[in-house]
């Protein structure tokens, strides 16, 4: 399945099971929002300043897990 980001938050509908704009399920959208919120909160609590390094590390770790799960 291909990831398709929503056009913008206001384009996303709340009725039904899927967004009319991006076609992702509301469950998927909510899971991704939770990940974003958790990541944001971690950054704020730990007061990271070098965000590029943090996001590069996060990407590297997730990609490694995906490679090893295949």
Kindly report, residue by residue over 11-68, the tens digit of the pLDDT.
777 778 888 888 889 899 899 999 999 999 999 999 999 999 999 999 999 999 999 9
In a domain, 36, yes or no: yes
Q: How far apart are CA 61 and CA 56, in angstroms?
A: 9
In a domain, 21, yes or no: yes
In a domain, 4, yes or no: no
Q: In the prediction, which pLDDT does 10 show? A: 72
**Number of domains the chain is built from:** 1
In a domain, 2, yes or no: no
Radius of gyration of the chain (CA): 15
In a domain, 39, yes or no: yes
In a domain, 1, yes or no: no
In sequence order, the 6+-apart residues with CB closer than 8 A to the CB of 18 are 24, 25, 26
pTM listed for this prediction: 0.80
C-beta neighbour count of 45 within 10 angstroms: 8
Output the CA angle 37-42-47, nearest 5 degrees.
125
Q: Structural domain of residue 16, as residue ranges?
A: 9-69
Q: In the prediction, which pLDDT does 21 show? A: 82
Q: In the prediction, which pLDDT does 40 show? A: 97
């Amino acid at each position: 399945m291909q990831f398709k980001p929503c056009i913008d938050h206001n384009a996303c509908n709340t009725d039904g099971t899927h967004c009319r704009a991006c076609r992702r399920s509301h469950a998927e959208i909510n899971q991704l929002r939770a990940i974003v919120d958790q990541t944001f909160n971690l950054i704020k609590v730990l007061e990271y300043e070098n965000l590029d390094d943090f996001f590069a590390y996060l990407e590297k770790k997730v990609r490694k897990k995906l490679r090893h799960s295949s």
